[in-house]
């Protein structure tokens, strides 16, 4: 059974890393590597093709002479919340990091780690979106990928040493997750900038986009815990956990190398 599972992991890794010509301009992590054109400004898209999204008016900002009009708050809320949910569920690097958190801890400590990650990326998202801080995107993308490999390693070490670790180790892990959360928030801010937020919607757009990110994150955490519960019912929790962590770590390393290469060659 374990051998079949490892074969499946190898197959999945191979498929995940396989280049697809039709998607050559899209980052393998989904939505937030902006240099590859994975995100298009909402207002520019509508201005260029005003009829493209006509069937989904509630999710698109109306235009008057090329300028976005102010929208009712419920419409703003639905639009940016949906964008946040779709970004996090399509942002494979963010999901891999959260996966490592789910496999590192359990119970109240897992809640503490997820909350710390949320506070960290919410803070940096707000600061970067309002231009309080400015950080180049490519190095951030590299470190985000490395954060996945680091947390996968941390979770594997915790598995060997026992998940119930001392208070000092837990404090260190919380501090590390807080720092990585700040970095992931910078990636979220770049996406929100690229959505083309109207001046009158900046505060509400930030609030509801972040709420959507958190909602998507909670959905993913629930899905991971559900899968692990099913694996535990068949006495396969530890093999599944170990395979998932090795998968996340390998993919994180691959993304880091790919992003460094793209950054160095100017092909990000």
10 Å Cβ neighbour count for 145?
Answer: 24
Among positive and negative, which fits the CA dihedral 219, 224, 229, 230? positive
What proportion of the chain, given as a percentage, has pLDDT over 90? 57
Tally DSSP H helices, then E strands, for the chain.
9, 2
Residue holding tokens 């559900």?
226
More confident of the two residues 112 and 36: 112
| Predicted pLDDT at 166 | 74
Distance in angstroms (rounded) separating the CA atoms of residues 239 and 13: 17
What's the pLDDT tens digit per position in 100-152? 999 999 899 999 999 999 999 999 999 999 999 988 888 999 999 999 999 99
Other CB atoms within 10 Å distance of the CB of residue 140: 22
Instruction: Kindly list the distances between the CA atom of residue 74 and the CA atoms of 38, 58, 200, 258, in Å, as whole numbers in the listed order.
Output: 27, 9, 14, 40
The sign of the dihedral angle between the CA atoms of 223, 228, 232, 235 is: positive
User: Once rounded to an integer, what is the mean pLDDT over residues 214-241?
Assistant: 95
Q: What pLDDT shows up at residue 266?
A: 60
Cβ atoms 206, 191 nearer than 8 A: no
Nearest-CA neighbor of 245 among 117, 113, 100, 105?
100
pLDDT at 65 over 50: no
**What is the predicted pLDDT for the residue at 23?**
31
Query: Taking a C-beta distance cutoff of 8 angstroms, is the pair 32, 84 a contact?
Result: no
Boundaries of every domain in the chain = 2-52+76-265
Spatial neighbors of 5 by CB under 8 A, at least 6 apart, are: 236, 239, 240, 243
Q: pLDDT band at 95, cuts 50/70/90?
A: very high
Q: What is the mean pLDDT of residues 187-206?
A: 90
Q: What is the pLDDT of residues 258-267, one digit of tens each?
A: 999 887 666 5
Identify the residue with better confidence: 25 or 128: 128
Confidence at 15, pLDDT banded by 50, 70, 90? very low
Across 39-53, 70-84, 184-198, 208-222, which has the greatest mean pLDDT? 208-222
The model's confidence at residue 69, banded by pLDDT at 50, 70 and 90, is low
Asked whether residue 68 carries a pLDDT value surpassing 50, the answer given is yes
């Amino acid at each position: 059974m374990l051998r079949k599972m490892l074969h499946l992991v190898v197959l999945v890794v191979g498929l995940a890393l396989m280049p697809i010509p039709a998607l050559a301009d899209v980052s393998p992590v989904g939505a937030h590597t902006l240099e590859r054109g994975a995100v298009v400004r909402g207002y520019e898209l509508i201005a260029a093709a005003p009829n493209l999204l006509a069937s989904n008016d509630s999710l698109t900002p109306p235009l008057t002479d090329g300028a976005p009009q102010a929208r009712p708050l419920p419409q703003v809320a639905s639009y940016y919340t949906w964008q946040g949910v779709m970004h996090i569920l399509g942002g494979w690097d963010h999901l891999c990091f959260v996966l490592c958190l789910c496999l590192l801890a359990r119970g109240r400590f897992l809640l503490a780690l997820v909350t710390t990650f949320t506070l960290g990326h919410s803070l940096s998202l707000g600061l970067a979106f309002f231009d309080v801080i400015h950080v180049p995107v490519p190095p951030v993308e590299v470190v985000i990928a490395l954060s996945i490999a680091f947390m996968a390693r941390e979770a594997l070490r915790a598995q060997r040493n026992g998940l119930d670790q001392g208070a000092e180790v837990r404090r260190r892990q919380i501090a590390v997750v807080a720092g990585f959360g700040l970095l992931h928030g910078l990636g979220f801010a770049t996406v929100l900038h690229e959505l083309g937020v109207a001046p009158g919607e900046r505060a509400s757009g930030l609030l509801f986009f972040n709420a959507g990110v958190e909602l998507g994150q909670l959905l993913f955490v629930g899905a991971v815990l559900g899968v692990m519960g099913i694996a535990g019912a068949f006495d396969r929790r530890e093999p599944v956990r170990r395979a998932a962590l090795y998968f996340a770590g390998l993919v994180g390393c691959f993304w880091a190398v790919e992003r460094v290469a793209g950054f160095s060659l100017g092909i990000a």
